[in-house]
């Protein structure tokens, strides 16, 4: 780990709806303010906020450093130049991009009469990371105005998938094994009441399923497009186990690690809790095997959860590669008040492996990519091949472990991920 930078700044997590992430011009974009514990970590003396757990459409969840309103732009050319410089300074793909060609093409576009808005959107597209985005001054102003008025997220852009509540039920596996199925949906909320309700429900479902005899877990992250990952992590903490589960590395080399302890999600240190349940009902099940279900709509904070499970022993993933938003963004405010969200880092698992794009499952199915309108697997009565395969593996794993009682115990630290999964 790099040495901490000398400047320590207090940052607070926030969530922003960004309908324009997918290039929706004129979309209404609103900011949701909230109260959360401050967390300290090392950043450079010229800080740029790191957006952490960003969804693929409207939700940005991140760390933000307070700043004064920016001055007015001097000219369109100045604004474009500033945007290109910011992209070059922050993009984690900066070494593979021909910035001379980018600047030359931008000049040509200006000569052809293109607006600064059009040119900057083109520049951001050249980053080709699937996660960076741009809000022009008008869109960014709506973010700030809505935040100042304490408004909740709203968007006139593409609709999010239908909101769903956490679901739990017993699934029968091979040999009559009892499997605890948990659907972990996205969560676009930062109000304490909603976060607590979500996490408490997931914790209560775990208790109910264990009391009913669950011997292993099926964690369904399909259609989890992200949002607020902290209640998700806290609610699954007794399945993940205590400890660090992933990190991001800022452009200046600073590292921000996330992890869990019983009923809590934290940054850098277990005492720096971002979200914690006052009453945590979930039983300790970190040694039970887990089958993780993912698809092309598992995105952003949903992918953070996938990363969090990567080095967990007795865990296997099923489905199809995730959306490819397993990265973190630096947020730069330009001179006219417009905002660049630039992908500055991949997400790293607890073993230090970087992601940044789609996360492949251990067992892939190559199913058609779901849309917002696609029914949730199995909800329309059709067979759920992914769930069936996960249940078959998990039930077989439980039966095998029953014959070899030492399996699944601590001692996997020296094993590779492949060795762990072969268990």
Among residues 148, 178, 194, the one where a domain terminates is 148
CATH code of the domain in which 391 resides: 3.90.226.10
First to last CA, the chain: 30
Answer with the residue of higher pLDDT: 53 or 387: 387
Q: In angstroms, rounded to a whole number, what is the distance separating the alpha carbons of residues 250 and 255?
A: 6
Whole-number Å distance between alpha carbons of 53 and 201: 22
Residues 228 and 310 in one domain: yes
Residue 413 scores a pLDDT above 60: no
Say whether both 67 and 124 belong to one domain.
Answer: yes
Q: Which of 96, 115, 148 is the last residue of a domain?
A: 148
Residue count of the chain? 423
Answer yes or no: is pLDDT of 171 > 90: yes
**Whole-angstrom distance, CA of residue 41 vs CA of residue 219:** 31
Distance separating alpha carbons of residues 187 and 399, to the nearest angstrom: 35
Tell me, yes or no, whether 204 lies in a domain.
yes
Exposed, middle or buried: residue 376 (CB in 10 Å: 0-12, 13-18, 19+)? middle
Sign of CA dihedral 380, 383, 386, 392: positive
Q: Is residue 116 part of a domain?
A: yes
- pTM score: 0.73
Confidence of residue 146 (pLDDT cuts 50, 70, 90): low
Identify whether residues 392 and 250 lie together within a single domain: yes
Residues 75 and 31 in one domain: yes
Pair (107, 182) in one structural domain: no
The residue among 148, 176, 211 that closes a domain is 148
Domain shared by 142 and 175, yes or no: no
Q: Which residues of 140-173 are buried (b: 16+ CB within 10 A; e: fewer)?
A: bebbeebbeeeebbebebeebbeeeebebeebeb
pLDDT value at 387 more than 90 = yes
What pLDDT is recorded for position 37?
32
pLDDT at 13 over 60: no
Whether 108 is covered by a domain: the verdict is yes
pLDDT recorded at residue 201: 97
Query: pLDDT, tens digit, for every residue of 61-88?
Result: 333 333 334 444 458 999 999 999 999 9
Structural domains of the chain, count: 2
Q: Is the dihedral of CA 39, 44, 45, 50 positive or negative?
A: negative
Residue 380: its pLDDT value, please? 84
Q: Give helix then strand counts, H and E, for the chain.
A: 10, 18
In a domain, 83, yes or no: yes
Q: Which of 156-165, 314-323, 344-353, 365-374 has the lowest mean pLDDT?
A: 156-165
Residue 2: inside a domain: no
Q: Do 86 and 176 share a domain, yes or no?
A: no
Q: Is residue 335 part of a domain?
A: no
Tokens 């700043």 found at: 67
39 lies in the same domain as 132: yes
Same domain, 196 and 72: no
Alpha carbon distances (Å) from 308 to 242, 245, 349: 12, 5, 7
Residues 393 and 290 in one domain: yes
In a domain, 133, yes or no: yes
* Residue percentage of the chain with pLDDT more than 70: 73
pLDDT of amino acid 162? 52
Residue 175 lies in domain: 167-326+352-422
Residues 21 and 113 grouped into a single domain? yes
Residue 158, in any domain of the structure: no
Question: Is the domain of 181 the same as that of 285?
Answer: yes
């Amino acid at each position: 780990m790099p040495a901490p930078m000398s400047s320590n700044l207090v940052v607070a997590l926030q969530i922003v709806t960004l309908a324009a992430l997918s290039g929706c011009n004129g979309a209404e974009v609103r900011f949701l303010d909230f109260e959360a514990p401050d967390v300290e970590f090392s950043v450079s003396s010229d800080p740029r906020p790191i957006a952490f757990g960003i969804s693929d459409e409207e939700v940005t969840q991140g760390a933000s450093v307070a700043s004064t309103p920016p001055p007015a732009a001097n000219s369109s050319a100045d604004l474009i130049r500033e945007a290109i410089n910011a992209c070059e300074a922050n993009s984690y793909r900066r070494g593979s991009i021909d910035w001379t060609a980018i600047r030359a093409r931008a000049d040509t576009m200006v000569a052809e009469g293109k607006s600064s808005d059009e040119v900057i959107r083109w520049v951001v597209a050249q980053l080709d990371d699937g996660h960076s985005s741009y809000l022009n001054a008008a869109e960014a102003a709506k973010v700030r105005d809505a935040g100042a008025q304490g408004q909740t997220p709203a968007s006139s852009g593409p609709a999010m998938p239908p909101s769903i509540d956490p679901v739990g039920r017993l699934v029968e596996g091979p040999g009559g094994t009892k499997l605890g199925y948990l659907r972990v949906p996205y969560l676009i909320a930062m109000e304490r009441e909603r976060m607590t309700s979500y996490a408490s429900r997931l914790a209560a479902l775990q208790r109910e399923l264990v009391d009913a005899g669950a011997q292993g877990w099926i964690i369904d992250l399909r259609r989890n497009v992200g949002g607020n990952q902290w209640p998700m992590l806290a609610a699954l903490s007794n399945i993940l186990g205590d400890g660090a589960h992933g990190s991001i590395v800022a452009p200046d080399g600073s590292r921000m690690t996330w992890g869990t302890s019983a009923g809590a999600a934290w940054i850098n240190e277990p005492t720096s809790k971002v979200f914690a349940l006052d009453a945590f009902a979930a039983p300790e099940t970190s040694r039970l095997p887990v089958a993780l279900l993912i698809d092309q709509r598992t995105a952003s904070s949903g992918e953070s959860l996938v990363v969090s499970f990567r080095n967990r022993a007795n865990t296997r993933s099923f489905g199809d590669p995730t959306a490819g938003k397993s990265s973190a963004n630096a947020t730069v405010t330009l001179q006219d008040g417009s905002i660049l969200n630039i992908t500055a880092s991949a997400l790293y698992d607890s073993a230090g492996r970087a992601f940044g794009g789609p996360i492949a499952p251990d067992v892939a199915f190559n199913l058609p990519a779901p849309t917002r309108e696609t029914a949730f697997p199995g909800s329309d009565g059709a067979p759920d091949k992914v769930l069936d395969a996960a249940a078959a593996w998990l039930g077989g794993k439980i039966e095998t472990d029953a014959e070899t009682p030492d399996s699944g115990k601590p001692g996997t630290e020296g094993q590779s991920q492949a060795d762990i999964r072969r268990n």
